């Protein structure tokens, strides 16, 4: 492999890093779950593919804008100093153009080949994350992740709208689950990255109110989350398979957050954060399995 090929590969990896692939993968997964849950049978193939690609591209564009706005903050944090902008491997102009291309293609796909409702909801989500959360809320209040979590909770609604052209109460129940899940998920990370956030100047809850206060709120939000995950069964969206799964997954999540509250350790905070990601994926997977068993 010659130097030119290596350089191309390296540049491609840098652009890919701007999109925060792991975060976008979870967003896409939740959107696809919304698509499959929206109708009794299998969703039509072309709307499914176009919506999946369109939502993924717009989500990647929003992540790139986030990297652009927060480059000075990322440079102060050990966990993010390697990113393309603070490390100097990509310029702000390159990032802006890249984000515009991704967002433009994604929006075109959604409007031309899916439906206008999905397009506008996706654009609203883009603005909510890239502008309202990143620019306004994140540096302003320790409740940033709670309020800003509304943008991150939108993917199932987008997916539902993509297939049906509607956003009924069932879609918003999925939104509510992710919305309530976000604080305990993110604050578990913030606990063992408190020094990083303190250096960044961001008013994250562990920095402004301390570890014990944050751990209590993680526990309380997890209690609320477990209760919220019962809603699909209560409204008839799901049956016994999902209910048992939700209680088992939630019970373990609650146990972890209780241990975290009683006896903090960085290892336990990391374990809780990692489990929270698996928890959401497994919960939605159980909902999908249950959907096709009814």
Lowest mean pLDDT among 10-14, 39-43, 154-158: 10-14
Question: Residue 8: pLDDT band by 50, 70, 90 thresholds?
Answer: low
236, two tokens: 């008839």
The SS3 assignment for 225 reads: helix
Integer Cα distance of 128 and 151 in angstroms = 6
Question: Residue 78: pLDDT band by 50, 70, 90 thresholds?
Answer: confident
Could you read off the pLDDT of 124-143 as tens digits, one per residue? 999 999 888 888 888 888 88
Q: Helices then strands (H, E): number in the chain? A: 16, 0
pLDDT of amino acid 148: 84
67, two tokens: 């990297």
pLDDT of amino acid 191: 96
Residue 6 above 60 pLDDT?
no
pLDDT of amino acid 7: 60
φ, ψ for residue 109, nearest 5 deg: -60, -45
209 CB-near residues (< 8 Å, 6+ apart): 142
Integer Cα distance of 257 and 272 in angstroms = 7
Integer Cα distance of 64 and 96 in angstroms = 8
Q: Which fold has domain 10-167?
A: Tetracycline Repressor; domain 2 (1.10.357)
The two domains 10-167 and 168-294 share their CATH topology (first three levels equal) = no
**Residue 236: left (phi > 0), alpha (psi -120 to 50), or beta?**
left
Could you read off the pLDDT of 163-206 as tens digits, one per residue? 999 999 999 999 999 999 999 999 999 999 999 888 888 899 99
pLDDT of amino acid 294: 63
Task: Indicate the DSSP class of residue 96.
Answer: H
Lowest mean pLDDT among 10-19, 248-257, 274-283: 10-19
Entry pTM: 0.92
Residue extents of the structural domains in the chain: 10-167, 168-294
The answer to whether residues 71 and 86 touch, using CB atoms and an 8 Å cutoff, is yes
From the CB of residue 97, how many other CB atoms can be counted at a distance below 10 Å? 12
Q: What CATH number should be reported for the domain whose range is 168-294?
A: 1.20.120
């Amino acid at each position: 492999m010659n130097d030119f090929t290596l350089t191309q590969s390296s540049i491609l990896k840098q652009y890919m890093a701007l999109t925060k692939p792991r975060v976008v993968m979870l967003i896409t997964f939740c959107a696809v779950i919304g698509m499959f849950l929206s109708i009794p049978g299998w969703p039509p193939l072309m709307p499914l593919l176009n919506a999946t690609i369109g939502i993924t591209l717009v989500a990647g564009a929003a992540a790139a804008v986030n990297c652009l706005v927060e480059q000075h903050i990322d440079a102060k944090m050990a966990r993010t100093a390697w990113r393309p902008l603070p490390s100097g491997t990509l310029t702000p102009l390159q990032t802006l153009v890249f984000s515009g291309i991704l967002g433009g293609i994604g929006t075109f796909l959604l409007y031309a080949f899916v439906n206008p409702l999905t397009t506008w909801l996706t654009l609203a989500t883009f603005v909510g994350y890239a502008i309202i959360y990143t620019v306004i809320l994140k540096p302003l209040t320790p409740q940033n992740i709670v309020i800003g979590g509304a943008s991150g909770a939108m993917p199932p609604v987008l997916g539902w709208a993509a297939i049906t052209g509607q956003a009924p109460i069932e879609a918003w129940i999925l939104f509510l689950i992710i919305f309530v899940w976000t604080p305990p998920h993110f604050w578990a990370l913030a606990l063992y990255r408190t020094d990083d956030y303190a250096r960044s100047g961001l008013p994250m809850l562990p920095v402004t109110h301390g570890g014990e206060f944050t751990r209590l709120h993680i526990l309380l939000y997890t209690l609320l989350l477990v209760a919220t995950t019962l809603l699909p069964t209560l409204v008839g969206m799901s049956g016994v398979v999902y209910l048992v799964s939700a209680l088992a997954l939630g019970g373990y999540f609650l146990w972890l957050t209780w241990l975290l509250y009683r006896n903090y350790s960085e290892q336990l905070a990391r374990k809780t954060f990692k489990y929270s990601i698996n928890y959401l994926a497994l919960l939605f997977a159980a909902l999908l399995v249950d959907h096709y068993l009814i």
